[in-house]
Amino acid sequence: MTDFEKTPGWLDWYADPSRPRFQVPEGAVDAHCHVFGPGAEFPYAPERKYTPCDASREQLFALRDHLGFARNVVVQATCHGADNSAMLDALRASGGLARGVATVRPGISDTQVKELHEAGVRGVRFNFVKRLVDAAPRQDLWDVVERIAPYGWHVVVYFEAADLAGLRDFLLSIPLPLVVDHMGRPDVTKDLHGPEFEAFLDFLRARPDIWCKVTCPERLSVSGPPALDGEQHAYRDVVPFARRVVQEFPDRVLWGTDWPHPNLTAHMPDDGLLVDFVPHIAPTPELQEKLLVTNPMRLYWPDVR
Ligand code: 0GY
C-alpha cells in the first residue's frame, strides 16, 4: 500500500454540500468531473504536478444522486498521468451511467483504444496548461488523433486564454470534434466585448463541431462565492461570459461540477451552490435542457435518445 501526502495547502472537496435550490431537468449529465484514486488502490502518477486528497467513484456517484443528476462524464485527472485505471474503474462500476475522457500517449495500440471504448471512453484530453503537465510535442498529439479517429471520439482541450492565439491553428487542424474546458479560462476582469473573449468566441465560430464547457465559475471568479450575509449569488462576475456562450451556442455547450475541484487555493465550492449557478447562465427551461441533457447526451450517449 502506498501512502501519499497531499500537496501543502490542498483544499479537500466539500463533504456536506447543500441541496441545490435549482432542480436540474430529468436525465441531467455532470459532464466534467474526476475521480482521484483512492491512492492506495490507484496510485498517483510519478509525473504528477500535485497530490490530491482521495475522491472515489462511490463518493462521486453519491454526489451525483445528491445533486439530482443522472449521469457523469469522468475526465482523466492529470495526477493520474496516462494511467486511466481509476477513471475506467468508475466507468465500469457505473452501470452505463458514466462515460470517460482519457489521457493516452502516442503509440497506444488499437487493442488498447478498443478496450477504452468498450469501457465507455469517448474522447481524449489534450492539456496545454503548463502548471498541470509538461508540454507534449505536437507530433505526439497527432499520433493520438490518428489512433482515436476511427472510434468517433472527440478531443477535449484545456488551455489558458492567453495561449489560444498560439494554439488556434493547430487546434483547428484537428479533424475531430473539439470540446473546450472552462470557456478557455477567460480573465473575467477584462471586458466581455474586448479582444480576448472575442478571440475565444471567434474560435468557437470557426467550426460547428467545437463545443464549450461553461464550467468552473469558482476557478474564474474574482468576486468569488457570496459573503455569508450576502444577498448576491455566487460567482456573479462569470455570469455574463458564460451566458454569452450559452446564448450564441446553445446546442454545443456542456456543464459539469468539476468535482473534486483540483488545485483550488482560495476556497472550495459548495457543489449545491454551483448547481444553483446554472439558471443564471441558462435562464430558460429550454436552454437548461440543452445544456444539461440534450447536448451531453448527443455527445456521450448518442444511442440512448
Ligand atoms: C480541472 C482543472 C484543473 C485540473 C485538472 O486534470 C487536472 O489535474 O483538470 C486545474 O487545475 O485547473 O478541469 O479539473
The tens digit of pLDDT for each residue in 175-212 reads 999 999 999 999 999 999 999 999 999 999 999 999 99
Q: What is the Å distance from ligand 1's center to 262 Cα?
A: 6
> What is the pLDDT, as a whole number, of residue 226?
73
> What is the rounded distance in angstroms from the CA atom of residue 248 to the CA atom of residue 64?
28
Q: Exposure of 236 by Cβ count < 10 A (0-12 exposed, 13-18 middle, 19+ buried)?
A: middle
The verdict on the CB of residue 35 being under 6 Å from ligand 1 is: no
Tell me, what DSSP letter sits at residue 257?
-
Is 258 an annotated catalytic residue? yes
The candidate with the shortest Cα–Cα distance to 254, out of 70, 28, 1, is 28
The verdict on the CB of residue 271 being under 6 Å from ligand 1 is: no
Q: In this structure, which residue's CA is closest to atom 5 in ligand 1?
A: 77
The verdict on the CB of residue 218 being under 6 Å from ligand 1 is: no
- Residue tagged active-site, from 54, 181, 258, 271: 258
pTM over 0.75: yes
Residues near 124 by Cβ (< 8 Å), separated by ≥ 6?
A: 101, 102, 103, 104, 144, 148, 153, 155, 156
Q: What is the Å distance from ligand 1's center to 260 Cα?
A: 10
> What is the rounded distance in angstroms from the CA atom of residue 232 to the CA atom of residue 210?
33
> What is the pLDDT, as a whole number, of residue 227?
64
Q: What is the Å distance from ligand 1's center to 149 Cα?
A: 25
The verdict on the CB of residue 256 being under 6 Å from ligand 1 is: no
> What is the pLDDT, as a whole number, of residue 2?
66
Atom of ligand 1 minimally distant from the CA of 131: 11
Q: What is the CATH number of domain 29-300?
A: 3.20.20.140
The verdict on the CB of residue 262 being under 6 Å from ligand 1 is: yes
Ranges of residues in the chain whose predicted pLDDT is under 70: 1-2, 227-232, 305
> What is the pLDDT, as a whole number, of residue 90?
98
The candidate with the shortest Cα–Cα distance to 154, out of 299, 253, 305, is 299
Q: Contact at 8 Å (CB) between 305 and 40?
A: no
Q: Give domain limits for the chain.
A: 29-300
> What is the pLDDT, as a whole number, of residue 201?
98
The whole-angstrom distance between residue 296's C-alpha and the CA centroid of its chain comes to 12
> What is the pLDDT, as a whole number, of residue 233?
72
End-to-end CA gap in the chain: 43
Q: Where are the beta strands (DSSP E) in 182-301?
A: 210-213, 253-254
> What is the pLDDT, as a whole number, of residue 232?
65
Report CA-CA distances (Å) from 179 to 42, 207, 218, 253: 27, 12, 20, 9
